Amino acid sequence: MLVLRDLVKVYPGPVTALRGVRLEVQSGMFGLLGPNGAGKSTLMKIVAGLLEPTSGQVELDGADVLADPRRVQRRLGYLPQDFGFYPHLSGRDMLIHLLRLKGVKAKGGLKRLAGELLERVALGSAASRKVKEYSGGMRQRLGIAQAIAGDPRLIVVDEPTAGLDPEERLRFYHLLAELAQDRIVLLSTHIVEDVSVLCPAFAVIRQGELVARTTPSRARAAIQGTIHEGEVGAEDLPALLERHTVTRSTLFEGRHRVRVFADDGRPPAGFSAAQESLEDAYMILMKRGADFLSRGADAPPEDSRPPSAEANEGASLAANTEAEA
């Protein structure tokens, strides 16, 4: 189990990036969802032992991450948001170099281990190609290959699907779901679809604070029957934004296709009921806070341990490859 207790991080300025975050994460995939600048990357670096918090504690299976980061890092795989590669090296040589830096040992040698890892992330056929020829998704899979070396207990991935095309994202979803079967995978993202597809439980962070912890199904249940959709002209959109919480607005044939949260049962004229989505719930939370979640989700309690039902929900994620509507 990964345990975070009252994590605070204040940068010079002062800028407070984390404000007393408390969280417990059991085995499986767990999502940390929030907008850019919410404090997700700061939290991930602290969990990985790369950054010291101003105060607070981090434990992995009872071991103090902050007191002995090297000991914990031997059980950790980390894929940061920005991962630097040497473009002139082949994928195989780049991975062998990273394994040496991590101090990984292998009975059959690092070359053999690198080959096995590349096969596992579907890069075996591209092992001899230079990294500069890799697509964004291939680079992410190369990053995962080094992260899973040594069979880590905890894998931390920070914004892993940002910038990937749909096909690469789907391939990455399969890979992460497989990895989460027998270890803790902590996924930080601002992309709601990542959480909807992969995570049986997740937390939402905003301005350095943990504002909600729930599951995708419970978050959608909290807004059941409140989402309506319709079309308005550009001249009517400002007034609509003032009167209602808008969760999505897209242009369609010159008009705005808008989804609104109408919890009072009075949607705009001409709007019809629509199927609620996790994206709707997330946008409402960002704009209105966590109070609305009380009907189907949890704000973070004093003890943030997830109910056992949440820990078991969505156990067979490997087959789940489509975002929940």
Q: Are residues 158 and 214 in the same domain?
A: yes
pLDDT tens digits, one per residue of 271-323: 999 999 999 999 999 888 777 666 544 444 433 333 333 333 333 333 333 33
Residue 184 located in a structural domain: yes
Residue 172 sits in a domain whose CATH number is 3.40.50.300
Q: Are residues 187 and 300 in the same domain?
A: yes
Residues across the chain: 325
Full pLDDT tens readout for the chain, 325 residues: 999 999 999 999 899 999 999 999 999 999 999 999 999 999 999 998 889 999 999 999 998 988 888 877 888 999 988 778 999 999 999 999 999 988 888 888 999 999 999 999 999 999 999 999 999 889 999 999 999 998 899 999 998 888 888 888 888 899 899 989 889 999 999 999 999 999 999 999 999 999 999 999 999 999 999 999 999 988 889 999 999 999 999 988 778 999 999 988 899 999 999 999 999 999 999 888 777 666 544 444 433 333 333 333 333 333 333 333 3
State how far Cα 224 lies from the chain centre: 24
Q: Are residues 40 and 189 in the same domain?
A: yes
Q: What is the pLDDT of residue 321?
A: 30
Q: Are residues 183 and 56 in the same domain?
A: yes
User: Domain boundary at 117, 149, 181, which?
Assistant: 149
Give the residue carrying structure tokens 């053999």: 112
Q: What is the pLDDT of residue 295?
A: 56
Q: Are residues 205 and 165 in the same domain?
A: yes
Task: Report d(CA 96, CA 68) in Å as an integer.
Answer: 26
Q: What is the pLDDT of residue 318?
A: 31
Residue 49 located in a structural domain: yes
Domain range for 119 is 86-149
Task: Report d(CA 85, CA 78) in Å as an integer.
Answer: 15
User: Domain boundary at 149, 166, 193, which?
Assistant: 149
Residue 283 located in a structural domain: no
The total of structural domains in the chain comes to: 3
Q: What is the pLDDT of residue 290?
A: 75
Amino acid type, 156: V
Q: Are residues 308 and 204 in the same domain?
A: yes
Q: Are residues 162 and 211 in the same domain?
A: yes
Amino acid type, 280: D
Q: Are residues 63 and 9 in the same domain?
A: yes
What is the dihedral sign for C-alpha 37, 38, 44, 49?
positive
Q: Are residues 143 and 231 in the same domain?
A: no
Residue 70 located in a structural domain: yes
pLDDT tens digits, one per residue of 162-197: 888 888 888 889 989 998 988 999 999 999 999 999
Q: Are residues 174 and 142 in the same domain?
A: no
Burial (CB < 10 A; 0-12, 13-18, 19+), residue 238, is exposed
Residue 281 located in a structural domain: no
Cβ(287)–Cβ(35) below 8 Å: no
b/e map 107-145, b = 16+ CB within 10 Å: eeebeebbbebbebbebeebbeebbeebeebbbbbbbbb
Cβ(49)–Cβ(65) below 8 Å: yes
Residue 67 located in a structural domain: yes
Give the residue carrying structure tokens 């979803």: 173
Q: Are residues 207 and 247 in the same domain?
A: no
User: Domain boundary at 149, 169, 200, which?
Assistant: 149
Model pTM above 0.95 = no
Q: Are residues 205 and 172 in the same domain?
A: yes
Residue 98 located in a structural domain: yes
Cβ(257)–Cβ(237) below 8 Å: no
The DSSP bridge partners found for residue 9 are 18
Residue 280 located in a structural domain: no
Q: What is the pLDDT of residue 71?
A: 77
